[in-house]
Structure 1
Amino acid sequence: MSKVNFIFALHFHQPTGQLKRINERIFENSYKLLLDVFKSFSDLRFTIHISGPLLLYLAKNHPEWLEEVFKLGDLGSLEFMAGSIGESILPIIPRDDRELQIREYIKIFEELSGFKPRGLWIPERIWEPHLPEVIGRLGLEYVFIDDSTLTKTGYPHDLAYYSWITEDSGQVVRVFFIDAGIRYILPWEPPQRVLEYLIGKIKEGDPARLILWGSDAEKFGEWMDSGHSRSWLYAFLDLMRRNRSRVSMIHPSEYLREYGVKGLLYLDTGSYDKMLEWSRGFFRNFLVKYKEADNMHKKMLWVKKKLEKAGDLPRELRVEYLLAQCNDAYWHGLFGGVYLAHLRQAIYEKLIKVERWTEEKSNYFSSENFRKIMVDFDYDGLSELLLETPMQNLYIKPSDGGTLFEYDVKIKGFEHNLQDTMTRYGEPYLNKPGFNPDWYRRVSWRLHLWSPDTGLYDWINNTPFKDMSDLALKNHHVAPGEEGEVVLRALGGFYQYGSPPVMVAAEKRVRLTSNGHTTLFRVRNIGDREFTAKLGIEYHVAWKIDRENEAKPYYIINGVSRDVSEGGVFSTERITIKSPIYPGIRLESNTQHEVWVAQLSSYSRTEKGFMEIPQGLAVMFVEQLSLKPGEEYETSISWILEI
């Protein structure tokens, strides 16, 4: 009687920067459950991958769980797959980092377990044709990718029921294809239905037929109720025991030893079907859609350049650098991804730590403590202005309204990007009444000339046609300034229906201080008639998230402490954002202003439904202006870290 081979592979993963509460909840509800299942069915064959960030977390917090899992490996029940220590999207990181990611994972896994994994789990199954060159050279035998990659290349789907070989530059790797059909019914339909699906793939006289289920372990106990997960798994695996003559649970290495491969294939870029939908067919498109994802990616590349001049990192920092390449914060689909501020913050923390080490090791600043660099930081064909000192970085985008888009604190123990806020993008699932996507990137120093009737609600919710000038998006020119300062200048228009624009000159003069910076803003009417508007100077501040205890941030204005979710309109010259785990972050003007304050929140769809996710505090300094020809207004605003 013919049978079908079945690889049951579970991918355990939590990202760099995950909240401790969530890690512990999933451990209790899912990972402990799965360990019980593995023990109860130790006569069956399971394949598992534990992602690098989770492996390190478990080694520190739950070593007893790992020890029990590794015992099952000794018994032959579990086969382990390697990964990248940062669970990074391998094609989007530098080529030598790809190899380093995998080598570091194998090294740490061997130190903890005594096993050398034979296969490689590819994060999000993002496949590009050059990957075999790295994977094969590291001696790994096989990978899992999705059947959608096979069909996207143009091959018939029936080829997915076998293992194949592919190569690049003479380095080979065996490929198993995850079957989408079983992934959509296991564990969502009754166990008997899954068994019938498996038996339905039997081909008489063909003992090499194979079905691979490879997906998230967290589906059991986290996505699906823990009690139901337990009963489902016990029922399903009992069916596997009782139907061994028709379905053979097998490890990938066993399959290769017994059946080998069908032959040679070359494959297109790919991933699972939903990822292809979310990314418009190619993962790197996320770096185009989400400026915040692109910002982290290009920050990583910038730090990489500094690393090349500093030599090898100490191992602890090397792991930090690799963990900063963790994929979750760089994309968005059904999961929170780039919208989750605590994940982005963790990426920046680790990159800034590594950056500080490279600067110290390479004597980057030499005898000077201030570097001004014009460089195409984000590879969009336009130069950005980077201001760097040993204690802080200010990254400025002249072409986007002369705005501050990254503000790094490099002080040891306080590594943080104060400007790590998130723009609200249009998403297919966000058709809520009243939701208007942001028409500009939510960063700082942006100038608006609002119509006189504009208020806080209009600004934070993007009421159309309220900004009557083009200064917010205007290209700014970098001009010479005094020693230790930079100047940005732009010429824009103030527009009123039925009249030609009034020309307006804007200037931003920036000077760094020991614990922050001060920006002098000037607006001058260089037109031939008077205009009246509300001048708005926009800031966004990312408070430091407490990932351990989730202590709440707050702000102080006019001596009163307020929750960050409590916005309002105030008359004041300063506002201080506080986090229990971080020094105060103060915005302070040299004169009193009307100040609009609102929590910047985005909406994300997750496997548990819609979430409102705080991204930072939005602050607008407002001044009612009536400027006649030749008149100007100026004010200065300081951004101060209270340290």
Structure 2
Amino acid sequence: MNCPKCNNKIDGNFCKTCDKDLKIIYLKLAEDYQTKREYAKAIEYLNCSLNYIDSIEEITEVKDQIRSIEFSVFNDSEEIDDELNIIIKEKNEDYIYSGFKKLILITFICIILFGSIEYGKKWYVHNKKIPDTVIGNRVLNTALLFHLNQNISSNADIADKASYYRLLKILRKHKNLKFNIHISGTLIQSLLWYSPETIELIKDGLKDGQFELLGSTYSQNIIYSTDDISNRWQIERHLEIIDDVFNYKPIGFWNPERTWTNSISDLILNYGYKYTFIENNILKKSGTNFDEHVIRTFKNNLVVINDDYEFISLINNAIDEGDYELNRENQGANLSKRAPSYKNLFSYIRKIYEKDSDSTYLLNYAEDAEAFGLWDLRDGYTPEYDFKNLDFLLSEINSKKWINLVKYSEIINNNAVENLESIEDGTAKWMNKAAMGIGNYSEKGYKGWFDFNQHSPKLDYYRKQHIKYQNMILNIKNTENKAVKNLKKLAKDVFMARQYEFGCTGISGTDEEWSYNTKYETWENIKLVNIIIEVINSINNYSESIYEKDINNDGIKEIIVVNNHNFYVFSKSRGGRLLYWYDMMKGIEIVGGTLAVNTNYPYYDDNVLFFNTNYKNNLRFINPEPELYTYLEKVKLNIKIKALNEIGHLYKSENKNRYEFDNFYNYEINYKIIEDEDNNKELLFYTDSFKKIISFSKTGLTINYEYNNNIIEYLEVFSEFQPGYHSIANHGKSILENKFEDDFISIYNIIDNIGLNIYVDNIYKPTEIEESFMGILSKIYLKNNGQIKIIKY
């Protein structure tokens, strides 16, 4: 059998030439023919695809698509044919024939004309010579700014491997060129765990004077969309993290999504910032009298720098040269001096240079770093090509003596050509379009971003949540109690992290999803502030107790245990899982992961356990190079696992060639409070075949297990421990020391001086550990009557 697309022989159900399964090929062909309005052919290919689909859901979806085409295109075909025949009979056949000949002639002329124009354009670009001489000893000041940003999530790891690390490596390779970097606070915390090597590259660039680092808001909330207290907290926290990690004081402010109102100027000037950025469309509306590339001031104080969208697009096209070749054999890092994207880019730079007769221009490129690698990976292309093209491009820029790459701080002083007393309110072009339903992260039913910002029911709801939890934090009494101080800092970080990109379209779900009551963790988990406030209240009014309360405001009551200055939260609705554990003497989180989010997961409740899907099953849809492919195939995205999650491994079934499982962490479970011989209270979680007895002491927890060993062969208990979670987020994995044996695990935080020793009795097989996100994931395998003892020290 041959491939329906390339006509080459196929191997099984896979075409090596197209590098795709037959199912995907048929579906793509159907889509192409439907676009061409060749509906019969589209239906034919859709029917063919059904032979290679196993999923009931996919089969139903394809059949619905076939019915939709048939209904919309062929439903009234008989009536249409009758009417058409009557009309044709009434017309003169010679007239039709004559018109048809004219149409063919006009079409033929148009094809030739269009082809000639396109050929002429390509010939012109291909043969165009770009002057490379220096005019009058002047240079064109040019700035390249790369914006690195991700939430506190596993997405940061993938973005780093696909984009950030290799981008920074290429920049550092060209050490005589200067660059500008912005990295969000949430990404800094994520990379301190996932890739401290990337952080070190930035540190090295700063130390050598090659990089300039910009500040912003901690979690990239849009200042226009959030209240004044939130904005001040956000700016202060980002400055604090930059100082702690890089020992650096930025003077440039990355204004998220370029959403501008004049009051932003005073806000950022108060924090020592001297310059920021405004898109050229906003400047044009503001009555500027000079070329968009000159440097300006706002009210003679804040320097404002133009974002040149055309320049951004031209560089991106050059970086992507070779990505979009239809023939896979022609794909590659194809940027060269003869490439059209090269000619277009340097023609544009040269045009700006020749206009800049007074040497007052700054040509500015400010772009998301994900444009280098991650977007390619998402769209099924090879990230590696971007970095080879970038390497070539930077070498070319370096060779041109009339281009001067600068750090902003080198040119902002005394170089302003124009002062603006007022600048029109405005936002990024892409986001204004997205609010109108155009492009990525789009919404529906709005006239533009300002309409969305004012009338979005989702934004309105979360703004009220901001005020609610902000007031909770502000109402924490000033105290010298170190534990309360530590927890207040954590509460503020949780609050701000859950304002991630607040105000952007399409973030934390869309308004349409919101109308169906679908929420996402990104913003919804601001309610985790409730837990930390409850711990603080328990510290201030200490009393040992066991009680039920919906502590995380998810509509489910949890079991709270306050014992020996430890604060525990257990889930009775999900198998007695340990959701949270705080040391009340130090104000330290040990279990919980309150900062992290499962970015793309709808919010259900705070009791449920989600395993992040790995990339292994999605690799056929993307095209990473071998090294990245190997990493994505093996990477495990362990995030917010919590502790004491049990799986009962059942004996092998006689009729099935696999083991079956009983996931106790998925079920609502009975519980009761019992007393031991010394009148100490214990928690008993139980089903007909399973018991988990938890006892509490000054040093921690002891968990004893009993199960029906006629059904269950062994018990697996997996737990995520993060002793000193907030300090791990702020310092990274280097502060954790761990070791393990078959029946013992030790985890120690050298900053907070807190650790856990975990002893296991009656093991079924040796204990295992692996990294989670900002913690250690343990896997313990127990026989019946097994025991886990967790000692905090």
SS at match of 1:257: coil
SS at match of 1:133: helix
> 8 Å contact 2:509–2:518 — kept in the other structure?
no
Give me the whole-angstrom Cα distance separating, in 1, the residues matched to 2:568 and 2:510.
25
User: Which residue in the other structure is 2:372 paired with?
Assistant: 220
**Where do residues 65-464 of structure 1 align in structure 2 (5 Å cutoff)?**
65-155=198-288, 158-167=290-299, 172-189=301-318, 190-202=341-353, 203-224=355-376, 225-245=382-402, 247-257=403-413, 259-260=415-416, 262-279=418-435, 283=449, 285-287=451-453, 290-311=456-477, 314-327=488-501, 330-332=503-505, 344-349=520-525, 351-358=526-533, 361=536, 391-392=550-551, 407=555
Give me the whole-angstrom Cα distance separating, in 1, the residues matched to 2:468 and 2:413.
44
Give me the whole-angstrom Cα distance separating, in 2, the residues matched to 1:316 and 1:334.
23
Alpha-carbon displacement from aligned partner over 1:242-285 (angstroms, at most 9, x marks no partner): 1132x211111111136245323421221221112223576454
Give me the whole-angstrom Cα distance separating, in 2, the residues matched to 1:41 and 1:343.
45
For 2:413, the aligned partner's letter is R
> 8 Å contact 1:3–1:199 — kept in the other structure?
no
User: Which residue in the other structure is 2:144 paired with?
Assistant: 8
> 8 Å contact 1:141–1:173 — kept in the other structure?
yes
SS at match of 1:184: helix
Evaluate the alpha carbon distance shift between residue 582 and residue 48 of structure 1 in structure 2; reply closer, same or farther with a 3 A threshold: farther
For 1:193, the aligned partner's letter is N
Evaluate the alpha carbon distance shift between residue 316 and residue 284 of structure 1 in structure 2; reply closer, same or farther with a 3 A threshold: farther
Give me the whole-angstrom Cα distance separating, in 1, the residues matched to 2:419 and 2:164.
37
> 8 Å contact 2:157–2:191 — kept in the other structure?
no
SS at match of 1:240: helix
Evaluate the alpha carbon distance shift between residue 79 and residue 392 of structure 1 in structure 2; reply closer, same or farther with a 3 A threshold: same
> How far apart are residue 12 of structure 1 and its match?
0.4
Give me the whole-angstrom Cα distance separating, in 1, the residues matched to 2:216 and 2:570.
28
> How far apart are residue 73 of structure 1 and its match?
1.0
Give me the whole-angstrom Cα distance separating, in 2, the residues matched to 1:281 and 1:211.
31
TM-score (norm 1): 0.55
> 8 Å contact 2:296–2:304 — kept in the other structure?
yes
> How far apart are residue 138 of structure 1 and its match?
0.6
> How far apart are residue 75 of structure 1 and its match?
1.0
SS at match of 2:182: strand
Q: Which deviates further from its counterpart, 289-298 or 134-143?
A: 289-298
> 8 Å contact 1:163–1:175 — kept in the other structure?
yes
Higher-strand-fraction structure: 1
Evaluate the alpha carbon distance shift between residue 408 and residue 34 of structure 1 in structure 2; reply closer, same or farther with a 3 A threshold: farther
For 2:242, the aligned partner's letter is F
User: Which residue in the other structure is 2:335 paired with?
Assistant: none
Higher-helix-fraction structure: 2
> 8 Å contact 2:172–2:205 — kept in the other structure?
yes
> How far apart are residue 233 of structure 1 and its match?
0.6
Evaluate the alpha carbon distance shift between residue 72 and residue 204 of structure 1 in structure 2; reply closer, same or farther with a 3 A threshold: closer
> 8 Å contact 1:15–1:343 — kept in the other structure?
no
Give me the whole-angstrom Cα distance separating, in 2, the residues matched to 1:268 and 1:364.
50
> 8 Å contact 1:270–1:281 — kept in the other structure?
no
Give me the whole-angstrom Cα distance separating, in 2, the residues matched to 1:320 and 1:200.
48
> How far apart are residue 105 of structure 1 and its match?
0.8
Alpha-carbon displacement from aligned partner over 1:292-336 (angstroms, at most 9, x marks no partner): 4433332122212333322466222222211111116x5435997
> 8 Å contact 1:122–1:143 — kept in the other structure?
yes
> How far apart are residue 151 of structure 1 and its match?
2.2
> How far apart are residue 551 of structure 1 and its match?
11
What 5-or-longer segments of structure 1 have no aligned partner? 367-388, 395-405, 419-539, 553-577, 587-643
For 1:122, the aligned partner's letter is N
User: Which residue in the other structure is 1:383 paired with?
Assistant: none
Evaluate the alpha carbon distance shift between residue 100 and residue 198 of structure 1 in structure 2; reply closer, same or farther with a 3 A threshold: same
> 8 Å contact 1:186–1:194 — kept in the other structure?
yes
User: Which residue in the other structure is 2:45 paired with?
Assistant: none
Evaluate the alpha carbon distance shift between residue 40 and residue 336 of structure 1 in structure 2; reply closer, same or farther with a 3 A threshold: farther
SS at match of 1:275: helix
What 5-or-longer segments of structure 2 have no aligned partner? 1-134, 319-340, 377-381, 436-445, 479-484, 542-547, 561-566, 574-602, 613-636, 642-661, 671-793
> 8 Å contact 2:259–2:425 — kept in the other structure?
yes
User: Which residue in the other structure is 2:183 paired with?
Assistant: 50
Evaluate the alpha carbon distance shift between residue 204 and residue 109 of structure 1 in structure 2; reply closer, same or farther with a 3 A threshold: closer
For 2:357, the aligned partner's letter is G
> How far apart are residue 40 of structure 1 and its match?
1.3
- Say which one has the larger Rg: 2
Q: RMSD between aligned alpha carbons?
A: 3.8
> 8 Å contact 1:359–1:365 — kept in the other structure?
no
Give me the whole-angstrom Cα distance separating, in 2, the residues matched to 1:352 and 1:360.
14
> 8 Å contact 1:46–1:77 — kept in the other structure?
yes
For 1:233, the aligned partner's letter is L
For 1:199, the aligned partner's letter is R
SS at match of 2:419: coil
> How far apart are residue 150 of structure 1 and its match?
1.3
For 2:505, the aligned partner's letter is H
Alpha-carbon displacement from aligned partner over 1:208-266 (angstroms, at most 9, x marks no partner): 11111111001001113312201221121112111132x21111111113624532342
Q: Which deviates further from its counterpart, 66-75 or 188-197?
A: 188-197
Give me the whole-angstrom Cα distance separating, in 2, the residues matched to 1:238 and 1:77.
16
> How far apart are residue 160 of structure 1 and its match?
2.4
Give me the whole-angstrom Cα distance separating, in 2, the residues matched to 1:295 and 1:409.
23
TM-score (norm 2): 0.45
Give me the whole-angstrom Cα distance separating, in 1, the residues matched to 2:474 and 2:507.
36
> 8 Å contact 2:473–2:491 — kept in the other structure?
no
> How far apart are residue 178 of structure 1 and its match?
0.6
SS at match of 2:413: helix
> How far apart are residue 362 of structure 1 and its match?
6.6
